[in-house]
Amino acid sequence: MRTSRLTLACCSLALCALPLAAQPPMPKPGPEHALLKKFVGDWNATVKMMGGESKAVATFKMDLGGFWLSLDFKGEFEGQKFEGKGTTGFDPIKKKYVGTWVDSMSPSLTVMEGAFDKDGKTFTELGEGPGMDGKLMKMKNIHQFKDNDTIVFTMYQVKDGKDEEMMTITYKRKK
């Protein structure tokens, strides 16, 4: 009886392991994810928008197994506290970078798709997000890596096929 139980237990374990062995290997971050590491760090930010300028701080980190770059952004706009969160990752099905953005001044989600240039010095995203009038608008974001410690982010509204600059953020890596 004891031998039968032991044999049954071993067979059960072996049968349970079979589906695991048949599974494809777990995905791992690839070279596309390595490019996102350029953002990683703590940054001071200078925001220029609508003729004004304000200060903010940002933290970028690789998250969720190294697949997603997450951004926590905190600052003030026109005297109001502002907080935003973003995610960016490479979607192997779409063969594009995909990103999301949410913040404390809008109940709507911004969704973007993008790519790095061949030198990896410029990251451009296109998508849709909430406009000042509360309606969806077409957007374009460009991140320029000036050096290892400086990123210039420019956000555009795309209207009638033309880019209209809305905001520029200059990130300087905290030392």
Angle at 150 between CA 113 and CA 79, to 5 degrees: 80
Domain 31-173 fold is Lipocalin (2.40.128)
Give residue 78's pLDDT.
Answer: 76
- 2-55 pLDDT tens trace: 555 655 555 555 545 555 556 778 888 888 999 999 999 999 999 998 888 999
- 132-169 pLDDT tens trace: 787 889 999 999 999 999 999 999 999 988 999 999 99
Give residue 138's pLDDT.
Answer: 95
Per-residue CA distances from 162 to 92, 131, 138 (Å)? 30, 16, 10
Give residue 111's pLDDT.
Answer: 95
Could you state, in order of their start, the residue ranges of all structural domains in the chain? 31-173
pTM above 0.75, yes or no: yes
For residue 97, is pLDDT > 60? yes
Give residue 29's pLDDT.
Answer: 87
